[in-house]
Copies of this chain bind each other. A is one copy, B any other.
Amino acid sequence: MEFSSKLLENAVLEMSNLPGIGKRTALRLVLHILKQPMQNTTAFTQAILDLKNNIKLCSSCHNISDHEVCEICTNPDRDHQTICVVEDIRDVMAIENTRTYKGIYHVLGGKISPIDGVGPSQLKITSLLEKVKQGTCKEIIFALSSTIEGDTTNFYIYKQLKGFDVETSTIARGIAIGDELEYADEVTLGRSLLHRIPFEKTLKSL
């Protein structure tokens, strides 16, 4: 791409460093920014810098937070005895969007993945075990993605929890609501048969 301006070239290069943004899209975005009033642009850059400078990780659950302890962990209406273990903060947002979960979270910051050089020590597992040792936690819900890495991480934590008085569960795997059986993969369909649910229970959740 030929640029008539070094300033433009530099802005496009920086923009195209974002994931999934190619040079052409970057150019389109930068030209859009150029057409905007200056105050919009400063609001945009300031929002990003403010986020970078002031964002904290909750000291309890490691979720992203504006404060030392996040809004979920400080909310007295939530069930602090149930901890949902997730991979990253996007999972917290996904679960919060369902508006069905009233417990708290624990964000691991990743999954055990030797191929990517991520071992248990890089994840926030110790602080989870601490919470369990303190005896305030009754149930741990594993909500990691259903991959080899996710299952490994689940199993690792499960083994560490042995001997403690805490229930463990994983989120249900099965056919998604609205999906047709014939298009489901065999593993999912097999698991959803194996872990079938009493019909009265299903009726209640309607």
Contact = CB atoms under 8 A, between A and B. Distances in A.
Given A4-B92, A4-B93, A71-B4, A30 B11 contact: no
B45 A1 contact: no
Contacts of A71: 4
Interface of A: 1-8, 10-11, 13-15, 17-21, 25, 27-34, 38, 40-45, 47-52, 54-55, 63-66, 70-72, 88-90, 92-93, 96-97
A66 B97 contact: no
A89 B4 contact: yes
Contacts of A70: 4-5
A116 to B, nearest CB: 14
A34 B52 CA distance: 6
Given A2-B93, A4-B71, A70-B4, A14 B52 contact: no
Most chain B CB neighbours (cut-off 10 Å) among A5, A6, A14, A64: A5
28 contacts: A1-B93, A2-B96, A4-B65, A4-B96, A5-B65, A7-B47, A7-B55, A7-B66, A10-B50, A11-B50, A13-B47, A14-B48, A15-B44, A15-B47, A18-B33, A19-B29, A19-B32, A33-B48, A34-B51, A34-B64, A38-B52, A41-B48, A41-B49, A41-B52, A42-B49, A45-B45, A45-B48, A45-B49
Contacts of A10: 47, 50-51
A52 B50 CA distance: 20
Given A40-B17, A43-B14, A44-B14, A30 B51 contact: yes
